[in-house]
Structure 1
Amino acid sequence: MNAFKPRETLTEQVARHIENLIAFEQLRSGERIYESAMAKQMDVSHGSIREGLLLLEKRHLVRNVPRKGAFVTPLDEHFVRSLYETLELYLTHTGRKLVRQWQPNDMQRLESLYEQMRDRFQNNDLMAFLELGIEYTKASLVYADNYFIVSAIEDLWPSAKRCAFVALRHGGKKVLEDNLVHMEESIRIIRERDEQALADILHRYAVQQCEQVLSALNN
């Protein structure tokens, strides 16, 4: 029997639309988001836009300033370094649990996602590649067993996707190749149940991703 999956709410649809505008830089870093214009563009109420913006504030893409309005969160060096430092801390913690506890079906899932990502890379399907990358990381959280860490990581995905687009704009397919190399190496290390080696890989990857984004922002 298939599990019930509720349809996406209007608030979530609004948030996802604005999230994509920010990720693709149709709404720029620090730019004000006008509720009236956005409501007209999406043919929804001002209240729906406001609720979507509140959700995006929780996801670190928008800052709501009292009596001034909503603004795209500035993408600067402090933000980028903070993001990757936090992701590294959380993913290293959950990765160690995965190394200790994985079962054969977990590895099959990770390897399947890796193969799908390689196919998308060869077909130059950028959006599908990035979405699969998020699914790959979510699959690695299977043994996290920590509500707060999983919730925090979920709220960081939109910013991670935003940064990925910035890096891709500057670095092109080399950035995708680096992702695939990291995943192939991490799968091997997880199979070997080597916690420290996985922590080292995650650190190198976080530093590399961070520097790619900062390099793109400075050009």
Structure 2
Amino acid sequence: MTFIPQDSLTEQIARYLGHQIITGHLKPGERIQEMRIASELNVSRGSVREALLILARRHLIEILPRRGAVVSALTEVEIRSLYELWFMLLKKVAMNAAIMWQDDELAQFTALIKEMGEYAERNDLERFYDKLSVFLTVIYPYANNSFMVQVMEDLLPTGKRCSYMVFRLGKSELMRLYESFVHVMDKVLKRDAEGAGQLVEQIGAEQLKLALDALRVQVAQ
């Protein structure tokens, strides 16, 4: 991932390091050295330290006494907790969206879904998740709860990390995930809140199983 300054400096550093964790270039338990990162990116250690606080909030690292920042481990308990909370919140968003969406939002929904489909066909996980992130920023406000939105935004990087773990084992099912997502949006656009909520629950269970299977293979290796 190329480091290109944009947004706030600390956010860009957090994204740069987060990408390395999500894609597995930084391993669980590996220490993140502030001085090395500051030198590598030509930024101050203070900026790196602030970025690490962002990564801790997003559950990608832990900041430990006398050890500093280390990449957090993915355990079965943590993966189950992630999917339980994330998809519970996504269910509420989908159900609210089915009731509240406006006609002038339809074109934006359609364009984003189409782009996601193109990346799913190419099995391009990185760009698929980039576009999914954009889509989620569009629908998260339907939660009508700023605290929920912040929680969902902070959970997304770990969800993406789980997807990469599945992807690395050759078990990526992007097209199936995309098709399931399209079915949810079909329910949303038909104002079928209950149907949308049920499909989100089903997708969450399927994605949880894939992530747990991938974790068990990784641990056994």
- TM-score of the two chains, using structure 2 as the length reference: 0.89
1:95-153 per-position Cα deviation (integer Å, ceiling 9, x unaligned): 22111111123333222111111122334433211111222222222422211011111
Q: How many residue pairs align between the two structures?
A: 212
- 2:62 match: secondary structure: strand
Matches within 5 A, 1:1-219: 7-173=6-172, 175-219=173-217
Q: Does structure 2 conserve the Cα–Cα contact (< 8 Å) formed by 1:92 and 1:202?
A: yes
Looking at structure 1, the residues matched to 58 and 128 of structure 2 have their Cα atoms a distance apart, in angstroms, of 21
- In structure 1, distance between residues paired with 2:153 and 2:58: 8
Q: Runs (4+) of structure 1 moved beyond 4 Å? A: none
**Structure 2 gap segments, 5+ residues each:** 1-5
CA distance in 1, matches of 2:55, 2:205: 26
State the secondary structure of the residue aligned to 2:181: helix
Cα distance in 1 for partners of 2:163, 2:89 equals 18
Q: Distance in 1 between matches of 2:49 and 2:181?
A: 38
| Unaligned stretches of 5+ residues in structure 1 | 1-6
Give 2:15's aligned amino acid: R
1:31, CA displacement in angstroms?
Answer: 1.6
Distance 2:210 2:93 in 1: 24
Percent identity for Structure 1 against Structure 2: 32
Q: Deviations over 1:66-112 (max 9, x none)?
A: 22211111111111111111111111112221111111233332221
CA RMSD across the alignment: 1.6
Q: TM-score, normalised by structure 1?
A: 0.90
